[in-house]
Amino acid sequence: MSLHLAVALDGAGWHPAAWRAEGARPDRLFTAGYWADLVIEAERGLLDWVTFEDSLSLQSSRHDAPDDRLDQVRGRLDAVLLAAAVAPLTSKIGLIPTTSVTHTEPFHVAIGIASLDYASKGRAGWRPRVSGRPDEAAHFGRREFPPFDPANAEFVDALFREAADAVEVVRRLWDSWEDDAEIRDATTGRFIDRDRLHYIDFQGEFFAVKGPSITPRPPQGQPLVTALGHATKPYEFAAANADVLYVTPTGRDDARRITEEVRELNPDLKVFADLVVFLGDHKARLDDLDGAPLESDAHVFEGSPAELADLLLDWGFEGYRLRPGALPHDLTAITRGLVPELQARGAFRTAYETPDLRGRLGLGRPASRYARVS
């Protein structure tokens, strides 16, 4: 069995003190070169894709509001643009930025990801993300959110219904130009066949979008949609709208339980497990610097590449999204330690087989939903 491996890039790494780790480059965090070096390293390791975290508020140790900590990384760059800036410098690795579906216009998301798919020649994906934070809503001033409370089921439910509508709009817009819409017919003087362009006419509970897209159908047809979930509601969202779901099991038994729950919702959904990884013994020092042990929604692994390989094969997911604790150290340990270890066990590719991202997961290029069957 061959695993799929993705890496989640965020700031200096997933430990809040990662910017103070040995080899960290906090002075270069907001430069293109910093990200290019990381993604090129990930491609050298034949990884499936990298994800770029994003949100529309400043990082915070609190879930409900900004904090006043000055000893952690603050500030980030727009993930779609970051992914686009590394696209021409790489040729195989998938590029998956995060965007908000709570505040960002679905039309802008659709053309942004489609444009990333063009710039990367078929390697774009997308991670839609909901945001219930009242402070983030105040950055837009269009509506007021209640105080943050994950137990507010009615509010959370509405956020996910809205997210589902946003993904539906984005997917329809990607399909709104049939593949052969551009005809350049000199005889009739027509550049496009407008019968092969389609209004999406989406009318939902939260908004309406007319279409068609201004961007022709992206190279992959439908760029890969991935979602992160920790509970039934987001699992249902992913099962209905995404191609890949990232989950956060705490151990082997939990992994089995989650897998069963998700399989029941959608047997075709690809399920990846998220893990924070420290390949070495540097976590304790970073915990000391930060003043507290790392807290994470995902299982935190510490150990050697061989031990990590054991865990990945033992948990039994088809793929994993690894969150390096500190960059570039833990990324390099993945590409130069974990990958050879898995290859030696026949559990990881030794070359990229397909140029596009969907193909890497065995997903074909879907026909546009609007294409007439002839």
Partner 1 sequence: MNNTTVWSDPRSGSQIDFDSFTHLAQTAERGKFDFFFLAEGLRLREMKGRIHDLDVVGRPESLTVLSALSAVTTHLGLAATVNSTFNEPYEVARRLATLDHLSGGRAAWNVVTSWDAFTGENFRRGGYLAEADRYTRAKEFLQTARELWDSWAPDALPRSDGRFARPGGIGFFEHTGQHFDIRGRFDVPRPPQGHPVIIQAGDSEEGREFAAASSDVIFSRHSKLDEGRVFYRDVKSRLAKYGRTADDLKILPAVTYVLGDTQEEAEERAAEIRRAQVGPRTAILFLEAIWGRDLSGYDPDGPLPDVEPDLSTDVSKGRAQFRRDRAETAAKWRALAEEKNLSIRELVIETAAPQTFVGTALSVAAEIDHFVQTDAADGFIFVPHLTPGGLDDLVDKVVPLLQEKGVYRADYTGPTLRHHLGLKELS
Looking at residues 85 to 124 of the shown chain, list those that interact with partner 1 (rule: CB under 8 A): 85-89, 103-108, 111-112, 114-116, 118-119, 121
Residues 6+ apart with CB under 8 A from 48: 4, 5, 6, 93, 94, 319, 357, 360, 361
Helix (H, G, I), strand (E, B) or coil at 100: strand
Q: Which stretch binds partner 1 (CB under 8 A): 40-48, 151-159, 191-199, 243-251?
A: 191-199
Position 126 contacts partner 1 (CB under 8 A): no
Position 63 contacts partner 1 (CB under 8 A): no
Q: Which of 157, 191, 257, 281 binds partner 1 (CB under 8 A)?
A: 191
Q: Which stretch binds partner 1 (CB under 8 A): 139-147, 326-334, 339-347, 350-358?
A: 139-147
Rounded distance, CA 326 to CA 9, Å? 10
Residues binding partner 1: number (CB under 8 A): 76
Position 147 contacts partner 1 (CB under 8 A): no
Least separation in angstroms between residue 338's CB and partner 1 is 28
Rounded distance, CA 290 to CA 210, Å? 49
Contact 348, 82 (CB under 8 A): no
Least separation in angstroms between residue 260's CB and partner 1 is 37
Position 184 contacts partner 1 (CB under 8 A): yes
Q: Token digits for 28? A: 């270069």
Residues 68-87 that bind partner 1 (CB under 8 A): 70-78, 80-82, 84-87
Rounded distance, CA 112 to CA 162, Å? 19
Residues 6+ apart with CB under 8 A from 311: 275, 301
Q: Which of 1, 22, 141, 143 binds partner 1 (CB under 8 A)?
A: 141
Position 56 contacts partner 1 (CB under 8 A): yes
Closer CB to partner 1, residue 188 or residue 374?
188
What Rg value do the Cα atoms of the chain yield, rounded?
A: 21
Q: Which of 23, 63, 180, 190 binds partner 1 (CB under 8 A)?
A: 190
Residue entry with tokens 């390697």: 123
Q: Token digits for 48? A: 């499936």
Q: Which of 36, 156, 158, 313 binds partner 1 (CB under 8 A)?
A: 36
What is the torsion angle, in degrees rounded to the nearest 10, for the CA atoms of residue 327, residue 75, residue 100 and residue 200? -100
Residues 11-30 that bind partner 1 (CB under 8 A): 19-20, 26-27, 30
Q: Which of 41, 136, 178, 341 binds partner 1 (CB under 8 A)?
A: 136
Helix (H, G, I), strand (E, B) or coil at 15: coil
Least separation in angstroms between residue 123's CB and partner 1 is 12
Least separation in angstroms between residue 142's CB and partner 1 is 7
Helix (H, G, I), strand (E, B) or coil at 127: strand
Least separation in angstroms between residue 11's CB and partner 1 is 10
Q: Which of 55, 152, 296, 304 binds partner 1 (CB under 8 A)?
A: 55
Rounded distance, CA 51 to CA 216, Å? 24
Closer CB to partner 1, residue 355 or residue 362?
355
Closer CB to partner 1, residue 211 or residue 305?
211
Q: Which stretch binds partner 1 (CB under 8 A): 137-145, 151-159, 298-306, 357-365?
A: 137-145
The phi-psi region of residue 174 (left if phi > 0; otherwise alpha if psi is between -120 and 50; otherwise beta) is alpha
Closer CB to partner 1, residue 241 or residue 248?
241
Cα–Cα nearest to 249, from 273, 267, 272, 226: 273
Rounded distance, CA 298 to CA 255, Å? 12
Position 31 contacts partner 1 (CB under 8 A): yes
Residues 254-283 that bind partner 1 (CB under 8 A): none
Contact 311, 276 (CB under 8 A): no
Residues 6+ apart with CB under 8 A from 262: 235, 238, 239, 245, 247, 269, 271
Closer CB to partner 1, residue 87 or residue 277?
87
